Amino acid sequence: MPHKKPLEKEKKTAGEAIRFLFGEAAKSKKYAKKYVQTARKLAMKLKIRMPRELKRQYCKHCYTYFRIGENCRVRVQRGKVVYYCFDCKKYTRIPYK
């Protein structure tokens, strides 16, 4: 049986759901990691790009929602913004112009 491609309406509602999950992650410290994982799985399942502003709000290694000063450190070094996660002790480097 052939696979059905997701409709544009489903993609739009999934985008809204992803934004909602990140909003909930910002509110709840206890379930933030679960909300980020769910949002990522939803985006991958429907082949939706995660918006740039949301991509930078979580650790790519352990999926922890970043709270600057509490569980991550942000520095600017040599043309890059560097996020250091206190949970998994890894860096995420994002170039800028």
pLDDT digits (tens, 9 = 90+) for 28-62: 999 999 999 999 999 999 999 999 999 999 999 99
C-alpha–C-alpha distance, residues 70 and 68, integer Å: 6
First to last CA, the chain: 48
Confidence category of residue 5, pLDDT binned at 50, 70, 90:
low
Q: Tens digit of pLDDT for each residue in 55-94?
A: 999 999 999 999 999 999 999 999 999 999 999 999 999 9
CA distances from 14 to 8, 18, 77, 96 (A): 10, 6, 35, 29
The alpha carbon dihedral of 45, 49, 50, 51 has a sign of negative
Contact 57, 21 (CB under 8 A): no
Q: Is the pLDDT of residue 6 over 60?
A: no
